[in-house]
């Protein structure tokens, strides 16, 4: 097992592009939605994020090398690692924006700093949950059917990765479809370009060339000169955030997002094992939490996590080096400000086909690595993730129309009636979106048990749904000025509904008989 192989270059381009997208998203949301000072983003938030990403990438690369050498293998692929996209949106719209609006209403001199500190507190709290969750996650993994773990991941991959970039591909077809052809040729066709040029490099180069030719590049504003900014510990801001007494206010976001990250990382470890690479759960998840905590100490407001996509990087031939290169690259561009230069010269469109391909591979794995008879359970597990992505689109549309935006009308329940007039049951979407990673996994697990006629186990999974709904971790939500948000209060209708499901499954042993007619 070597630290670097040629195929790590391909893996690096894909993973670095994904991380770059998140950094550009952080920069845009912090400066233009939250209105934070550009110096705060440049000098603290991005360097803090770089520290977290570097720590995680070096750990997972070293882990892959150690396990590969211990098992006398040369094909271990390191777990991918980076910023959690869902947490970025959640912390911006459900923690930092409400904190800023509240501070503005109270006449605080620097509401942006208040929002920043709220983000630090949320990130630190999420990291603690990830760290302590590492020690119980393996037990959960052992009792959960693989179809439940992988289908949840596939729903996120289809919605938040594949479809999102598919829209962008067809919005910029000259760049998008041309680079997609290169990616399909090299990764699905399993051929190499002459001269051993990595397919990812060819796709990025072609995409950049076409972007400049068609006017997508360069970016509208030429960035400032490069200068070095070293990360600085911000213990004072973090302490001030906890002293503010706002921890309980945002617990309804911090707790679910921390659990979301634990469960998502657990599913990614399962995905890696399905692809042939077995990693120990506790140390893998512990490093995940430690990276988030250290990032918060240095100014990051956004958790890092074990990334979706391991089977895709492994299929590319990536091993350990792609993780090291990604960590060094992200650190370099965050500490020097060159992220703005890259965004100016190389648009996201140039590499989006690689990320789209990763989403396709993850979605396919959910069917390929599970028993054929469990395919219906995989579909059940896909649906909540796709639904959550659809709700995100609807809310983005509302924000584009002025609802939930700074200075515009807030989200409110009257919107629901207007959606109903078009037969769009958006309130069901709002309920499904909250805690969707839990409902996806639990319903898929219950479906597997029904398929296997283990009806009492199916009832137990539905009872778990009822308990999570009673605790407010699924389906309960409120309207906020910037979004809908999960609230830690019982979602009574769902508690009742899941309890009825549990009763039906528990009674099935006595009120049903096997039907082998095959006519369903």
pLDDT of 74 higher than 60:
yes
Q: What is residue 39's predicted lDDT score, i.e. its pLDDT? A: 87
| Better pLDDT: 201 or 370 | 370
Provide the Cα torsion 187, 188, 189, 192; round to 10°.
10
**Is 351 within 8 Å of 13 (Cβ atoms)?**
yes
Q: What is the DSSP string of 56-72?
A: HHHHHHHHHHHHHHHTT
Q: What is residue 354's predicted lDDT score, i.e. its pLDDT? A: 77
Q: What is residue 8's predicted lDDT score, i.e. its pLDDT? A: 92
Q: What is residue 252's predicted lDDT score, i.e. its pLDDT? A: 61
pLDDT of 496 higher than 60:
yes
Q: How confident is the model at residue 142 (pLDDT cuts 50, 70, 90)?
A: confident
| Better pLDDT: 161 or 231 | 231
Q: What is residue 307's predicted lDDT score, i.e. its pLDDT? A: 83
Tell me the per-residue pLDDT of 424-475, one tens digit each, with 9 for 90 and over.
Answer: 999 999 999 888 888 998 999 999 999 999 999 999 999 999 999 999 889 9
> Which of these, 340, 235, 353, lies nearest to 296 by C-alpha position?
235
Q: What is the pTM of this model?
A: 0.73
Tell me the per-residue pLDDT of 144-183, one tens digit each, with 9 for 90 and over.
Answer: 888 888 888 788 778 877 888 899 899 999 999 999 999 8
Q: What is residue 293's predicted lDDT score, i.e. its pLDDT? A: 95
pLDDT of 220 higher than 80:
no
Q: What angle do CA 62, 55, 239 make, to 5 degrees?
A: 150
Average pLDDT, the chain: 87
pLDDT of 415 higher than 90:
no
Q: What is residue 207's predicted lDDT score, i.e. its pLDDT? A: 92
Tell me the per-residue pLDDT of 41-51, one tens digit each, with 9 for 90 and over.
Answer: 989 999 999 99
372-376 long-range CB contacts below 8 Å, 24 or more apart? Answer: 373/451, 374/145, 374/147, 374/448, 374/451, 376/447, 376/451
The secondary structure of residue 348, as a DSSP letter, is: G
Q: What is residue 136's predicted lDDT score, i.e. its pLDDT? A: 84
Per-residue tokens: 495: 């508690």
Rounded Cα–Cα distance for residues 379 and 201 (Å): 34
Tell me the per-residue pLDDT of 300-322, one tens digit each, with 9 for 90 and over.
Answer: 999 998 987 899 889 888 999 99
The secondary structure of residue 45, as a DSSP letter, is: I
pLDDT of 486 higher than 90:
no
């Amino acid at each position: 097992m070597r630290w670097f192989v040629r195929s790590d270059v391909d893996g690096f381009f894909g993973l670095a592009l994904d991380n770059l997208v998140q950094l550009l998203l952080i920069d845009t949301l912090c400066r233009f939605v939250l209105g934070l000072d550009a110096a705060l983003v440049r000098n603290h938030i991005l360097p803090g994020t770089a520290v977290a990403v570097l720590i995680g990438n070096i750990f997972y690369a070293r882990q892959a090398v150690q396990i590969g050498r211990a098992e006398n293998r040369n094909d271990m692929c390191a777990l991918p690692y980076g910023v959690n996209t869902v947490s970025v949106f959640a912390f911006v719209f459900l923690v930092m924006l409400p904190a800023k609006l509240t501070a503005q209403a109270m006449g605080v001199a620097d509401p942006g700093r208040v929002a920043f500190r709220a983000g630090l507190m949320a990130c630190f709290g999420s990291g603690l949950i990830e760290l302590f969750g590492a020690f119980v996650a393996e037990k959960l993994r052992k009792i959960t059917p693989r179809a439940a773990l992988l289908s949840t991941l596939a729903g996120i991959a289809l919605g938040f990765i594949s479809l999102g970039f598919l829209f962008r591909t067809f919005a910029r077809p000259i760049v998008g479809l041309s680079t997609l052809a290169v990616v399909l040729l090299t990764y699905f066709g399993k051929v190499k370009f002459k001269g051993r040029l990595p397919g990812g490099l060819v796709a990025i180069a072609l995409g950049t060339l076409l972007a400049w030719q068609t006017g997508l590049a360069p970016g509208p504003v030429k960035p400032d000169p490069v200068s070095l900014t070293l990360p600085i510990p911000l213990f004072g801001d973090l302490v001030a955030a906890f002293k503010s007494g706002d921890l309980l206010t945002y617990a309804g976001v911090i707790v679910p997002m921390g659990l979301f990250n634990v469960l998502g990382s657990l599913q990614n470890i399962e995905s890696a094992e399905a692809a042939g690479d077995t990693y120990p759960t506790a140390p893998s998840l512990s490093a995940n939490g430690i990276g988030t905590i250290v990032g918060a100490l240095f100014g990051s407001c956004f958790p890092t996590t074990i990334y979706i996509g391991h089977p895709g990087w492994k299929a590319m031939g990536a091993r350990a080096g792609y993780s090291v290169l990604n960590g060094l690259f992200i650190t370099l561009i965050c500490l020097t400000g060159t992220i703005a230069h890259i965004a100016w010269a190389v648009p996201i469109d140039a590499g989006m086909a690689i990320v789209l391909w990763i989403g396709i591979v993850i979605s396919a794995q959910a069917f390929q690595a599970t028993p054929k008879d469990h395919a219906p359970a995989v579909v059940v597990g896909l649906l909540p993730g796709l639904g959550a992505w659809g709700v995100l689109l609807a809310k983005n549309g509302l924000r584009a129309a002025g609802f939930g935006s700074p200075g515009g009308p807030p989200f409110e329940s009257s919107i629901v009636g207007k959606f109903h007039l078009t037969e769009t049951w958006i309130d069901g979407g709002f309920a499904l979106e909250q805690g969707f990673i839990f409902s996806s996994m639990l319903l898929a697990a219950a479906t597997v048990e029904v398929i296997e006629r283990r009806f009492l186990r199916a009832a137990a999974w539905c009872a778990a749904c009822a308990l999570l709904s009673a605790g407010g971790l699924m389906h309960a939500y409120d309207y906020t000025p910037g979004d809908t948000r999960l609230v830690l209060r019982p979602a009574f209708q769902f508690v009742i509904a899941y309890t009825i499901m549990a009763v039906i499954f528990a009674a099935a042993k006595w009120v049903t008989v096997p039907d082998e007619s095959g006519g369903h």
